Every structure is written in structure tokens, then in C-alpha cells.
Amino acid sequence: MSAAKPAPNGWIVLDKPRGLGSTQAVGMVKRVLRQGGHAKPKVGHGGTLDPLAEGVLPIALGEATKLAGRMLDASKIYDFTIQFGEETDTLDTEGEVIQRSDRRPPMAAIAAVLEHFTGEIEQIPPKYSALKIDGKRAYDLARAGEEVDMKTRRVTIHSLTMAGEREDPELKSAFQTSAGRPDPYDVAAPLELADAVTLTAHVSKGTYIRSLARDIARALGTVGHVTYLRRVKAGPFHENQAISLDKLEEIAKGAPLEHLLLPLEAGLDDIPALSLDPDSAQAVRQGRVLSDLPHTDGLYFAKLEDTPVALVELIGGTAKVVRGFNLPDVAE
């Protein structure tokens, strides 16, 4: 019997399809690694996606699981479609219709209202959500027919635009507006009423897109619910890095994992690097403090040549370990 391949360390960014839960996705990754002959690694994900949502789901393997918490705190970018005319109890297509309206908003009104939902805003999470109330999940209470009192929370909407007007050039090139649509700010353009609209939102952690859609529809004098939701970016991970389930299954058939695996440091591309010599790397691995560093204060990704060593916090020239990584040197 051949020896197992080494347990991997790094990220698999999955393009999660609609209908698959995040926990199920993690289970699939574990299965294909096992079937591909890899030693069992720790596996976790960097931010839940509802089964009805699709898109970027970063899955951490091995030492990268130490960074999964940072992914939970990272901002996210979503495309989502609001269907006007019906609000459901779940605020998406799974629920029962609880309110109807014949009103359809003009495209110009939609464009104008978006700025009022940008910046710090207050929102009430959906009662069908995983938030805990007195130790129980809100969706369990709602499904049991209990009255669910969701508290208002403050979140940040970094940007909110019509899809196709994305702030990120990489994202914008992947989604173009439909040809021939009138400019909503052109007073000479014919009035265009919308049955639905697709928007792009760059949001802080804790933001509920379903609540955002509900509140936008209400602000437009109608009601609505989400019919499409796709995460196109999670922290540093972008949809053009994501792989399909078919690609994932190739690992089980013996495909080289390194072709699909992103390195641990891919989850740290927003953090400056701090290069260490062998002596200082050894000190950091032992949890010791580094002193008299000329760098500015902040969080750094400390590495020995190409090997991640630790996340360190540098204050006043002194670096303390925030999170160490147990990885062999690349040269070994």
C-alpha cells in the first residue's frame, strides 16, 4: 500500500453552485482529498454561503485554517437581483409571499436611491437567518412559528451600483450592462419601469443582502425579494480564481492538487510582507519578540524567503506573533 500524499496547506476557492450548503462543500473537499490519496488535513471555510447563493467560497486546508477567521471578517462583493412586486417571509425565492404590490419603480429612481444605502447603515437581519436568539438559531424559531424579534445592527456598504458599473475594473470587465439601455439620469430618456434589477454591493461582514434588497424595494415604494445572489469576491479571493465542482472532482481521480491549490499566503495579499533571516525566523517560531525593527506599525506577514512563518503585529519597532504557521522551509 502506497504512502499517503502529504496533507496540503493552502486554499481551494470553490465556485459553489446554487443548492449546495457550505458545510456540504467542505465535506466534498475532504472526500476528494481522501480519494486522491492525500493525508487528512484540517479543513474549514472562510464565510458561509446560503444554499440558494452561489459563487466564491474559500476553503482553507491545513495551516490556512488559522486564517479562516480573517476571511469571516473580510469584506465581500455580491451581485444580486431584486424582483419587485412580492416580498416573502424569507426575503428570497424559498419563502411564502407575505406582501404584494403592483408598483414598479423607474430605473431612474433605483439609481437615485442607491446612494442612500451607501456608507454606514442600520439594517434588520432576516428572521430566517443563522443568528442566535437566546441560544437558538433565528431560522429554527421562525420555522417553528415563533415570533422572532430581530435587533437592528449597523453595517457598512462600501459601494452599491447597478451591475456593470462595478468599482473593481477586474469585476467590471466580467459583467457588462445590456446594450441600448437608456441612461437613468438622462431627463430626455423614456421612462423605464423595472420588474427587477441586478445590483452589485461591496459590503462589510455581517451584512445581509436579503435585508438590503427588502429595504431598497420598500424605499422605492414597493416590495421585493432576492431571486439571484452570487458572491464574486470574498476578502482577497476573486471569482476568476474559483474552480467548479467538476474541477474539484478531478482531485479524486488523481489530478495534481497543486494545479488547483492556492498557497496559504494568497489569503494575506492585503498584508505587507516582513522578510526574516534564519535567526529571526527561528525566534518568531519560538514565539519570541523581535525588537528594533524600522517598519511602521501594523500587521505583517513574516516569511523566511518563500516560506510563511507567522502573522506579526508590529508596534513601536517591536513585533509580536499573532498567529504562527507550522510549515517546512521551501528549501527542505
Q: Does residue 50 carry a catalytic annotation?
A: yes
Residue 123 CA to residue 98 CA, distance in Å, equals 19
Whole-angstrom distance, CA of residue 273 vs CA of residue 179 = 44
Put the strands of the sheet holding 318-324 in their side by side order: 273-275, 298-304, 307-315, 318-324
The sign of the dihedral angle between the CA atoms of 178, 97, 204, 19 is negative
DSSP 221-290: TS-EEEEEEEEEEETTEEGGG-B-HHHHHHHHTT--GGGTPBPGGGGGTTS-EEE--HHHHHHHHTTPPB
Strand partners, 230: 54, 79
Q: Which amino acid is at 167?
A: E
What is the 8-class DSSP label of residue 129?
Answer: S
Grid coordinates of 99: 406582501
Q: Are 197 and 110 in contact (CB under 8 A)?
A: yes
- Report whether 74 contacts 159 (CB < 8 A): no
CA distances 181 to 108, 184, 191, 274, 278, Å, are 12, 9, 11, 49, 60
**Contact yes or no for 57/49 (Cβ under 8 A):** yes
CB 51 within 8 A of CB 98: no
Helices of type H across the chain = 22-35, 68-73, 107-113, 138-143, 169-173, 209-219, 245-252, 278-285
Choose the catalytic residue: 50, 79, 92, 215. 50
Q: How far is CA 296 from the centre of its chain?
A: 29
Show which residues are catalytic: 50
